[in-house]
Amino acid sequence: MSNNMYIARSTDPAILEKAESGGVVTSILKSALENGIIDGVVTVRAMKGDRFSGVPVLITNPEDLIHTAGSLHCSLPNIPRFVKEYLEGAAKMKLAIVGKPCDIRAIIELQKRNQIETDNVTLIGLNCTGTISPATARKMYIQEFKVDPNSVVAEDIDDGKFTITLEDGTTKSMDLKKLEEKGLGRRENCRRCLFNIPTFADLALGKWGTEDIEEAGTFVEVCSDKGRSLLESAIEKGYITISEPKKESIEMRAQKDKMELEHAMMWRERDFNPLLEMDLPDRLKYWTEEFSKCIKCFGCRDVCPICYCENCLLEANREYLVGGEIPPNGIFPLTRLAHVADSCVGCGQCQDVCPMELPLSKLFTLLNSKLSEVFDYVPGIDREQRPPTTVARDEELLIDDTFLRITSAMKKSDETETDEVAMSGK
Ligand SMILES: Cc1cc2nc3c(=O)[nH]c(=O)nc-3n(C[C@H](O)[C@H](O)[C@H](O)COP(=O)(O)OP(=O)(O)OC[C@H]3O[C@@H](n4cnc5c(N)ncnc54)[C@H](O)[C@@H]3O)c2cc1C
Ligand code: SF4
Ligand code: SF4
Ligand code: SF4
């Protein structure tokens, strides 16, 4: 094997029947588990067959993997937090973890903060152009597609269309843009997402580039030595077969990626420009009004894969800044913003859970894009690059911009807090 790109296909008919494309993800995982290369797999499984409630699962019995094959577009599993919270950050097991680009990027950010092991983990990335919240999906199926949500057995997003497959094998497609104009379709953060092919994982797998081949296949890009050895082992042991992709297939994949990036930039301009065009007092007024709606339910903090401090300074017993105050006077979301904005991966989980419908991921992504420009730092794509606010020089934090000033202020408060914690020995 000398190239980095392949079209691969499972040799297992049962996996092929259930899989999304060539069954390669499931087969590679099976090969790694059955041959003792890893101790466990972290992936996603639909609870009791309900496609809208996929949850992260740890699988150690290879026979159980078949139940995880296929893609769930209307489930929002929090894979990074599952690994960090429930699997001790992979400290005790060698794991292969399957995830979309935002999942993989969050895991990499957590690895930089020593919250998830690096040596024990192999990252299996899936291409992605978006997920749909389960509630929106159900509404969209009833209202627009005129079908029973429980009769949908598969979804797909491709070439600007959202397509569903029903139990009887029939398919129905609708224009994604039109659905999104009505507030349906993909989650807001997914529309703005700039990462479709997770080349920062060890393997990046997807459908793009397989459209013209006769039998279903999975396009595989090898992104690291770890990824290569997992793939080679699955080939040697007969779990998958591979062939070289045609030049046209590689071009088609790149073309689809480019097209999706253009769409995402269009959504970014549409969502961000009205905010950026406001003068400073109006911008502050807008965010202050939004923040004042916060009821301090802690949902956004608890769900965010990047929030990891054990002694969170937002807790009621920490008499600092917000302390036990209810309502929390807007400082609550601002403090979180200052803590994670440099490393926000735009996963949208915070906005999904906010009961007051604060446009959290919009703000975090906007600030993150600003910080990325200033610090030349894109979260979750390079393990060696440190998060900027942990290494930023004072003069960088004093650049004249409201967003940066907030970060600077919060960083200083945080240092004071860290000093206090150090002094109190907590
Ligand atoms: C939400 C989503 C959007 C996608 N969009 C694109 C796209 O635009 N272009 C493209 O080329 N490919 C896309 N893919 C990837 C594609 O659908 C297949 O996963 C990929 O081609 C591998 O196919 P396979 O047959 O080898 O995988 P399989 O053997 O079927 O295994 C699929 C694996 O994905 C896991 N999985 C399913 N749902 C999720 C989820 N929501 N989050 C994390 N893991 C999950 C399963 O548990 C399983 O381990 C998307 C996948 C998902 C989940
Ligand atoms: S943010 Fe949305 S589009 Fe981007 S990788 Fe995550 S689920 Fe996919
Ligand atoms: S701040 Fe929100 S969008 Fe950013 S990583 Fe945390 S949960 Fe995801
Ligand atoms: S989820 Fe919303 S209401 Fe709850 S603490 Fe976060 S910003 Fe406030």
**Which two three-digit tokens encode residue 58?**
């740890």
Residue 416 pLDDT grade (very low, low, confident, very high; cuts 50, 70, 90):
very low
Nearest in space to 43 (alpha carbons), one of 82, 4, 5, 86 = 82
100 Cβ below 6 A of ligand 2: yes
pLDDT recorded at residue 46 = 94
Q: How many other CB atoms are found less than 10 A from the CB of residue 73?
A: 21
pLDDT one-digit tens code per residue, 141-151: 999 999 999 99
Q: CB-based contacts of 236: which residues, under 8 Å, 6+ apart?
A: none
The atom number, within ligand 2, closest to the CA of 100 reads 5
The residue extents of the domains of the chain are: 5-127+190-259, 132-185, 278-424
For the chain, first and last CA: distance in Å? 53
Residue 424 pLDDT grade (very low, low, confident, very high; cuts 50, 70, 90):
very low
pLDDT one-digit tens code per residue, 351-409: 999 999 999 999 999 999 988 888 889 999 998 888 876 655 555 455 555 444 555 55
- Alpha-carbon distance of 362 to 261, in angstroms, equals 17
**Which two three-digit tokens encode residue 36?**
């003792």
pLDDT recorded at residue 313 = 77
Q: Hey, which of 18, 20, 133 would you mutate to test ligand 1's pocket, going by the most ligand atoms within 8 Å of its Cβ?
A: 20
Q: Which architecture characterizes domain 132-185 according to CATH?
A: Roll (3.10)
**Which two three-digit tokens encode residue 378?**
């894109």
Placement of tokens 């497609």 in the chain: 173
Sheet holding 40-46, edge to edge: 54-59, 40-46, 95-99, 121-126, 203-206, 218-222, 5-10, 240-243
Mean pLDDT of 347-354: 96
Contact indicator for 153, 165 with CB cutoff of 8 Å: yes
Bridge partner residues of 42 (DSSP): 58, 97
Q: Write the DSSP symbol of residue 245.
A: P
Bridge partner residues of 99 (DSSP): 125
pLDDT at 180 over 70: yes
pLDDT one-digit tens code per residue, 92-135: 999 999 999 999 999 999 999 999 999 999 999 999 999 999 99
Alpha-carbon separation of residue 59 from 29, 30, 45, 87, 167 (angstroms): 10, 10, 10, 12, 28
pLDDT recorded at residue 423 = 30
Q: Calculate what percentage of the chain has a pLDDT beyond 90.
A: 73
363 Cβ below 6 A of ligand 3: no
304 Cβ below 6 A of ligand 3: yes
- Alpha-carbon distance of 102 to 343, in angstroms, equals 11
- As a whole number, the mean pLDDT across the chain is 89
Where does 5-127+190-259 sit in CATH, by number? Answer: 3.40.640
Placement of tokens 């996929």 in the chain: 54
Instruction: Count Cβ neighbours within 10 Å for each residue of 178-212 and write b for 16 or more, e otherwise.
Output: ebbeeebbbbbbbbbbebbbbbbbbbbbbbbbbee
pLDDT recorded at residue 390 = 64
Mean pLDDT of 38-50: 92
| Ligand 2, atom 6, residue with closest C-alpha | 102
pLDDT recorded at residue 402 = 46
361 Cβ below 6 A of ligand 3: yes
pLDDT recorded at residue 84 = 96
Residue 7 pLDDT grade (very low, low, confident, very high; cuts 50, 70, 90):
very high
Nearest in space to 65 (alpha carbons), one of 242, 305, 239 = 239
Q: Are strands 54-59 and 121-126 parallel, antiparallel or unpaired?
A: unpaired
**Which two three-digit tokens encode residue 285?**
């007024």
pLDDT one-digit tens code per residue, 274-306: 999 999 999 889 988 998 888 888 999 999 999
pLDDT at 421 over 50: no
Bridge partner residues of 192 (DSSP): none
Contact indicator for 219, 253 with CB cutoff of 8 Å: yes
23 Cβ below 6 A of ligand 3: no
The four Cα atoms 174, 179, 184, 186 give a dihedral, to 10 degrees, of: 70
